[in-house]
Amino acid sequence: MTRTAVVTPSSFALILSALLISVIAFGCTETRDIRDWRPDDHQQPEGGEIDPSRVPDSDGPPGTDEERAVTALWTVSCASCHGRTGRGDGPGQPPGAQVRDLTNAEWQASVTDEEIAQVITGGRGLMPRFDDRINPRGIEGLVRLIRALRAE
Ligand code: HEC
């Protein structure tokens, strides 16, 4: 066995550190224009002009403030049983609950907005009532949100 042909872990480490040293010694000769941070680096650009490359695509879920509030209401009050996307797969369902898929187009077509609102306000079976916690505007918003869950 020729010893030179064998790369042992320790000789590998040696080669690696030799490489690293040469990178450190010879690779970092480039000088860059580094200057101190100035407060106007973080100021609004002159004349209200905004560099589009610095604007994030979105600042949260799409929609109006009201839609976002209703989505938050759904997440807090309903998603534990109905699932975030309404498919009936929430982790907090009471034992024995039959929570249907609210995205189902057939179910969607079979109920009116009033019936949906009625279940939310008054409850039914293992579905709790919410009229003591959510005002009529919130209930209306939730009906709209459920309608928007409809799958094709
Ligand atoms: C504790 C679990 C739980 C929570 C929380 C909950 N639901 Fe339900 N929901 C159920 C169950 C169980 C049913 C089925 C009731 C039945 O018919 O037996 C149901 C049924 C419904 C239905 C009617 C579906 C149908 O079969 O016609 C709607 C609409 C609904 N829920 C909306 C909501 C909304 C909106 C919220 C939040 C404000 C909510 N639910 C919160 C458990 C829950």
pLDDT band at 33 (very low <50, low <70, confident <90, very high): confident
Q: What is the mean pLDDT of residues 126-131?
A: 97
pLDDT tens digits along 11-28: 766 666 665 665 555 555
Residue 5 has pLDDT above 80, yes or no: no
Pocket test for ligand 1, best of 71, 81, 87 (most atoms within 8 A of CB): 81
pLDDT tens digits along 50-90: 666 665 555 666 788 899 999 999 999 999 999 999 999 99
Distance of alpha carbon 23 from alpha carbon 30, whole angstroms: 12
Supply the Cα-derived Rg of the chain in whole angstroms: 30
C-alpha to C-alpha distances, 142 to 55, 93, 103, 114, nearest whole angstrom: 31, 19, 14, 12
pLDDT at residue 30 in the model: 57
pLDDT at residue 16 in the model: 62
pLDDT at residue 152 in the model: 80
62 Cα–ligand 1 center, Å: 25
Which two tokens mark 40?
A: 């106007």
110 Cα–ligand 1 center, Å: 16
Residue nearest to atom 5 of ligand 1 (CA): 78
What is the dihedral sign for C-alpha 118, 145, 139, 141?
negative
pLDDT band at 141 (very low <50, low <70, confident <90, very high): very high
100 Cα–ligand 1 center, Å: 8
Which residue in the block uniquely carries the two structure tokens 């077509």? 109
Residues with Cβ < 8 Å from 139, sequence gap 6 or more?
117, 120, 121, 130, 131
Average pLDDT value over all residues in the chain: 83
Residue 150 has pLDDT above 90, yes or no: yes
